[in-house]
Amino acid sequence: MVDTNFNERLSSLSAEEREEILAIAEEFDWSSIVSLIGDGNRANEKFGEEYITFLTCVVSSSTLFCTSLGAISDPTFSRLIFKELGRAFKGTEGNKQVGICDPLHPYRSMDGRCNNLQEVHKGSTFTKYRRILFPDYFRGISDLRRDQTGEPLPSARLISSKINRMTGTESSDLSTFHMVFGQFLDHDITSTPVIKFETLKTGTIMRCCDEKLFKRNKPTKRARRIGCAPIPIPIDDPFYSSYGQRCMEFLRSTPAPSMHLGPREQLNQQSSYLDGSVIYGTKQPSLDGDPLRTFVDGLLKEFVANNGQHFLPVSKNKEMLCNSQEHMDNNEFCFVSGDERVNEVVSLAFFHTVWCREHNRVAQLLKSFHPNATDEHIYQETRRILAAELQHITFNEFLPSLILH
């Protein structure tokens, strides 16, 4: 919430400006802002096209970045917005709301809060990543890095194709599943949202490489400048040249909120803890149409095929990219799990399926030992056991084999 002195410090602004800023600061939390930035159409419906850039400026916490886009012309005004909205953001520095945590609570929170009782949001969802090195943006704020003469750096694809030659060498003792488990593990602790501006005419996700499509759908110039960073592909690329592809799609990540003006930072949507959130998600389960929980005996939902095999639940949501009309006509649908990237590759969906089955196996075992236990108790105990299993496999089996190689 905005503090009581906010109106006094906004006295120099017009009544209309003051009313708009107060409404935004009081209504929005960080997850709502991320959601709006990720959905240009909803942002337009709620605030109008200009607010796409406005909200992006707010979360970037950079006066120079915003004024360079022409979104906010008064630096004092913009600093005031950043300071006040920063107070409302979950996970900003200095936030030590110790009172919201129960130190005797036996189970982890879904979103990673309260792991650290002194800094309750540390490592929780929608907080910024920690840096190993200082940022090195062109002009120091947000623009992509350039060389010493101010020219763009060589294509990232050119560098990677020259350094990492595809030799086809196979491991004698590690399979592809070793790599996929690493991807599954990564999805438990990291998820970086990207700016996905939908085009104003068709509602499709903006493509940065297709100039004809880009011009036809007429996305805003601001949207392209903030979000697009396509990667050029050399004409003699060892792989893509066979397909005539000269450009690789790349959208920049959503800026993380901060109470300080300075360089752009990146945001983590997942909790930073190895807590099984890739299996269970990071939102508090809801009795009203939860996609994962049955709310019966602590079990997770499953889809049972005609042959009796148990799989992840399916979704008929047409907004999911893998739910194309062709697939849906053939009765083929996307899977649903704790992480939205479950459908990226079949092997990743396999791991999600294994852990869903393991949850239900353990839950059924606990129910047989404690027939009077509630659904919530069985669910939380099973979730705690699976998080321990995931940690054990990671530190005692996966990492040692990775380090040895």
Residues marked active site are found at: 187
Q: Which residues neighbour 110 within 8 Å (Cβ) at sequence distance 6 or greater?
A: 277, 280, 281, 282, 283, 284, 285
Q: For residues 33 and 55, give the distance between their C-alpha atoms in angstroms, rounded to a whole number.
A: 7
Is the CB of residue 228 less than 8 Å from the CB of residue 219?
no
**Tell me, what amino acid is at 46?**
K
Residue 338: half-sphere exposure toward Cβ, Cα within 13 Å: 31
Neighbours of 136 (CB within 10 A): 8
**Tell me, what amino acid is at 246?**
R
What 3-state class would DSSP assign to 232?
strand
Alpha-carbon dihedral 67, 73, 75, 77, rounded to 10 degrees: -130
Q: Which residues neighbour 246 within 8 Å (Cβ) at sequence distance 6 or greater?
A: 232, 233, 235, 240
Structure tokens at 404: 């040895």
Is the CB of residue 383 less than 8 Å from the CB of residue 367?
no
Q: For residues 339 and 157, give the distance between their C-alpha atoms in angstroms, rounded to a whole number.
A: 28
Is the CB of residue 161 less than 8 Å from the CB of residue 170?
no
Strand 314-315, strand 334-335: pairing: antiparallel
**Tell me, what amino acid is at 63?**
T
Q: For residues 128 and 202, give the distance between their C-alpha atoms in angstroms, rounded to a whole number.
A: 33
* Environment class of 28 (CB within 10 Å of its CB; exposed 0-12, middle 13-18, buried 19+): middle
Which residue spans within 208-301 are E strands per DSSP? 231-232, 247-248, 267-268
The residue behind tokens 């890095």 is 145
Structure tokens at 80: 């005031």
Q: For residues 174 and 129, give the distance between their C-alpha atoms in angstroms, rounded to a whole number.
A: 30
What 3-state class would DSSP assign to 174?
coil
What value, to the nearest 5°, has the Cα angle with vertex 357 and ends 351 and 363? 135
